[in-house]
A and B are shown apart, each in its own frame.
Chain A
Amino acid sequence: MPIHEKSLIRPENLKTHDNLVIEGIDVSGHWSTFIESRVVTDYNENLEDEIAAMPGGDKIHRCWQCGSCTNACTVNAIEPRFNPRYWIYLIRMGMESELLRDKDIIWQCVSCHKCTHICPRDVEPEGVMKATAHWLTMKGYTPPSPSHIFDEEFTHQIVQRGRIEDTEVLQNFLRKTKQPLMQDWLTAIGFAIAKRLPVKWGIKMAWAQIFKPKTRGWDKARIALEDYIHEVESEQKAVIAGKSKPQQSHAPVREAAE
């Protein structure tokens, strides 16, 4: 399958010569630029299975490489290296080292669902992006991304109490990502609202900080969820260790979008 997005040609593989004659033909200059071919020798034959075992990755085997996902992508429009079609290709071919070149941007998917909306093969590429980001962290290739830290903090609060509290999510996230709580734009927003808010609101916010919003009788649900998360994580680790095969989704492919 040819890869023809121009951004995929690496600058170091573009060879332009000021003065080069081959077999009597002058091939100097910009119009005679060569592209050095890539040779991939190391494959991870388990790669597709590993991604399929991660949250959201179980439909990756359906991909036809039509490229609708990349074409529709919100992030691709501002970061051309963000290319879901290409990454799905690499994963299915087992080209792990190639995939790792982009390891620091894969987490940037904003979950706008344009890809899932347009995909004719029901791959749910958005889920595959999240699965891949999860896999990168699990394998230790990247530190947990800010998004990963945010997701974990958020999920933790829900598992513990059934609900979240905005201020607590914000504070814990900034603390865990080592960012100052006092950021110019956040303080500007704080001042803007503080000017107009009635005292009643301040009291309400302070109240929510002390007595966190909680779903009544959540303890049983908390234990059920903690057990389930533990179960899912063990399955994921078993697949990565090559001891188990992931469950591919057998849900029928929906009719193609018109």
Chain B
Amino acid sequence: MVDVTDKAKKYRSVGYYPGCALEGTGNGYDVSTRAIAKKLGLGLREVSNWNCCGAMEVKNVDPKIQTYLSARVLSQAVNEDRVDVVMAPCNGCYHNLKKAEHDLAHDPKSVEVVEKLSTKAGHKAYKAGEAETIHALDWLKATVGEDGLRERTKGKLAGLKIANYYGCMYVRPRHIFPEKDQGPGSESTSQPHFMDDLLAAAGAENVSFPLKTACCGGAHTLSDSDTSTKLVLNILQAAEASGAEVIATECPTCHTGLEMHQVRAEKRFGKKTNVKVLYFTQLLGLALGIGPRALGIHTNISDSMDLIIEKRLI
């Protein structure tokens, strides 16, 4: 069992690693995460002069370059910003930082490459164990928590039917997330529930959704669009069949993938779906009384304003 109060204190002020996606297509996620932090009085210190973590592409050129890129981000956080917790809302970033942590703790060859590249690049090499990487879900679950949300939101999301979609990189592969699957209070890799818990605390009705950790084909959104469209359409249709009005996301690649291929499925396959797609931080922001524009909802591709007005979330 993990000590909850200890975490609540530790995560109140964390290093924040937005990553490339949150600066670009996933801007709504960045804006809403910062807005929530401000509202809840949580400290976010952006990792200074960060670089890309390697996303899903660099490992295909060489996996150790990805380990180095992620290790440099952690090195910046530890050595420049003096933080020991790095919060990454993007699943890709979160996954890669966790993967680097795992590789540096278990694979001597990775340590060797990271040390060599770090020395040549002129910065201190990151060593396993110097920082803890957490997801935005871990961060909110430990700080404000379900009780805090229940108190602050007064069940504002009541009547909103949500399918919680976690995607691949948050749960797989299991071995890079040693803190998951540790029994009560920890996250599950087969049936993740942190997002469900937070949204339920804000009053939402979570539908039973079988494709929580299905793949959206995000890595091939552009390079193999037909496959991505098929995978996304499956997720959208399953969400609708489960009775969901909105899909809550916690990854910018999944989010953009769902939105883009929702349009593409209609244009190319003639399959129209009406389910909305919002970041879980946007939904929690609405529940906390923050306005849609301040949560970047107008920068999403799909237009969710009708639903937001209908459910009296403004």
- Chain A residues with CB under 8 Å of chain B are 55-56, 74-75, 78-79, 108, 110-114, 116-117, 124, 127, 130, 133-134, 145-152, 154-155, 158, 162-167, 170, 173-174, 177, 184-185, 188-189, 192-193, 196-198, 201, 208, 213, 215-218, 220-221, 223-225, 227-229, 232, 247, 249, 251-252, 254, 257
Contacts and interface: CB of A to CB of B under 8 A. Distances in A.
Contact of B223 (A112, A173, A221): A173
Contact of B58 (A75, A158, A217, A232): A158
Contacts of A173: 222-223
28 contacts: A55-B62, A56-B60, A110-B217, A110-B224, A110-B227, A110-B228, A111-B168, A117-B173, A147-B223, A151-B58, A155-B61, A163-B20, A164-B55, A165-B24, A166-B20, A166-B24, A166-B25, A177-B223, A184-B268, A188-B263, A192-B301, A213-B23, A221-B122, A225-B68, A228-B116, A229-B61, A251-B106, A251-B107
Contacts of B24: 165-167, 208
Interface in B213-235: 214-215, 217-220, 222-224, 227-228, 230-231
Contacts of B107: 249, 251
Contacts of A167: 24
B1 interface: no
Contacts of B69: 158
Contacts of B21: 166
A113 B20 contact: no
B42 interface: no
A-B pairs, top 6 by smallest CB distance, nearest first, are: A112-B215, A224-B120, A146-B223, A166-B24, A221-B121, A162-B51
B185 interface: no
Contacts of A114: 168, 172, 215
A214 B280 CA distance: 29
B52 A158 contact: yes
A112 B55 CA distance: 13
- Binding site of A, secondary structure by majority: helix, strand, loop or mixed? helix
Contacts of A218: 51
B264 to A, nearest CB: 4
Contacts of B264: 185
A249 B108 CA distance: 10
B219 A111 contact: yes
Most B CB atoms within 10 A — which of A185, A225, A254? A185
Contact of A113 (B55, B58, B168, B298): B168
B174 interface: yes
A56 B72 CA distance: 21
